[in-house]
Amino acid sequence: MKNQIKPLNILYLHSHDTGRYCEPYGYAAQTPHIQKLAEEGVIFRKAYCGNPTCSPSRACLLTGQSAHAAGMFGLAHRGWTLNDYKQTLINFLKEHGYFTALSGIQHIALAPYAEPEDAGYDEILTLDGSFDTPVAAAEDFLARQHKRPFFLDVGLFPPHRTGNDGDFPSKHPPTDERYVMPPAVLPDTPESRHDYSRYLTSVRGTDESFGQVLSAIDRYGYRDNTLVICTTDHGPAFPHMKCRLTDHGIGVMLIMRGPHGFSGGKVIDEMVSQVDLFPSICNLLNLPKPTWLEGQSFLPLLHGDNSQARQAIFAEVNYHAAEEPGRAVRTNRWKYIRRYTDYNQTVLPNIDNSISKTYLYNRDLKEREEPKEFLFDLCYDPQEANNLAAAPQYKAIKNEMEEALRQWMRDTGDPLFEGVLPKNDRMIVTPQHHFNPDGNTVTETSQNLEH
């Protein structure tokens, strides 16, 4: 391959709704395979997605752009598509000699609006994202002889919630709910412990599936020339996490293993965004970076050069089930979030149904007001619980953060900078005041979810 250092395969392992809730980030989750990957590779402690909703997050990672620049303002199965599918990392690698294959979910090109092949896949092994099917298909793929380097995309649906009751896919008996601690943004109650125990069980199954694919990489002799990328789209599907612009929503696991510095159990504490993956791969393969890329290579961080480390990362939300436009900027010390909607209550359809949601709803979630602006001091308030936006002593910091956000919106051509949130004639949008993501206003549904 012209201009390439050496044939390097890429394995892209990803799950839904996992955030950083796995063992190498310090959580009491049974994820030994992800832990081993971290010990053998590189773990990015401060990795963030560009949008804490499913399709837009993946669009950011796979195009190296913000979601609004890529055109993915909402979910692919609700009518949204990329502006240009030629701009995906998959198509880029394909143009540079890679054989590209999909095993499981991808969630940026869905019929009838687009096809997975549009995103650049040479071969669709399976579109089933369950625990076992994509693993078996990936193992069959790896057992073949490959004359060209490959990009293998293995995407799992778990631990995404399923059904109207919001349970989690599982292949094991539930973790004992008596002995778990729910995420810090949730109260420690029997309901939240029950819910989180099911999540931990689903993550355990996800880890096992990842481990089977990694074992196949070793078994068929690809370990020394394969870059493994293990990540997720955004935070878990609990209230105050998924679809939120706090770190509970945008914080993601990012663990990589391979040659050229991705080894040795390194820990990177500098901030990186998933939009940085595309330019980093270009850097690694010595390939010219496409002009549309917004991110920056994080390869220098692997060698201790922090001189060009990110000073800020940016994220956004537009549509999930309901419309909820917002933008955020994060530095090492501060987080500023701006909501661009006149709806001043919690947008309930953008919280997946669960007994945790119902517990909060039946207290005061349905009556809580959401301010337009948030400012958090991440040093003294890492849980982002104390909003300083209205405090006069922080006005200068808030103004500085707001201007940085507005500059990013200008630079990336964000239509929301002009007050416009794009719509299309295909989009499916749930009204903001409804309870369920599917548009059901019958709040008795919430009562049926009580544990």
The enclosing domain of 283 has a CATH number of 3.40.720.10
Q: What is the residue range of 392's domain?
A: 313-448
On average, the pLDDT of the chain sits at: 95
Tell whether 98 is covered by a domain.
Answer: yes
**282 lies in the same domain as 354:** no
Looking at the DSSP bridge assignments, the partners of residue 231 are 14, 254
Q: What is the pLDDT of residues 336-351, one digit of tens each?
A: 999 999 999 999 999 9
Residues 345 and 284 in one domain: no
CATH number reported for the structural domain that contains residue 367 in this entry: 3.30.1120.10
State pLDDT tens for residues 122-131.
999 999 999 9
Structure-derived torsion over alpha carbons of residues 190, 195, 199, 204, reported in degrees to the nearest 10: 40
Q: Tell me, yes or no, whether 1 lies in a domain.
A: no
Give the pLDDT confidence score for residue 440 in this predicted structure: 65
Indicate the residue among 302, 322, 357 that finishes a domain: 302
Is residue 282 domain-resident? yes
pTM beyond 0.85, yes or no: yes
Arithmetic mean of pLDDT, 62-73: 98
Residue 442 pLDDT: 42
Q: Is the pLDDT assigned to residue 1 strictly greater than 60? A: no
Among 275, 302, 329, the domain-final residue is 302
Confidence of residue 103 (pLDDT cuts 50, 70, 90): very high
Predicted confidence at residue 364, as pLDDT, reads 83
**Which of 246, 271, 302 represents a domain boundary (last residue)?**
302
In a domain, 431, yes or no: yes
- State the total domains in the chain: 2
Same-domain check for residues 331 and 289: no
**Per-residue confidence band for 165, with pLDDT thresholds at 50, 70 and 90:** confident
Tell me if 307 is assigned to some domain.
no
Cα–Cα distance between 405 and 262 in angstroms, integer?
Answer: 32
Confidence class for position 448, pLDDT limits 50, 70, 90: very low
pLDDT tens-place string over residues 280-329: 999 999 999 999 999 999 999 999 999 989 999 999 999 999 999 999 99
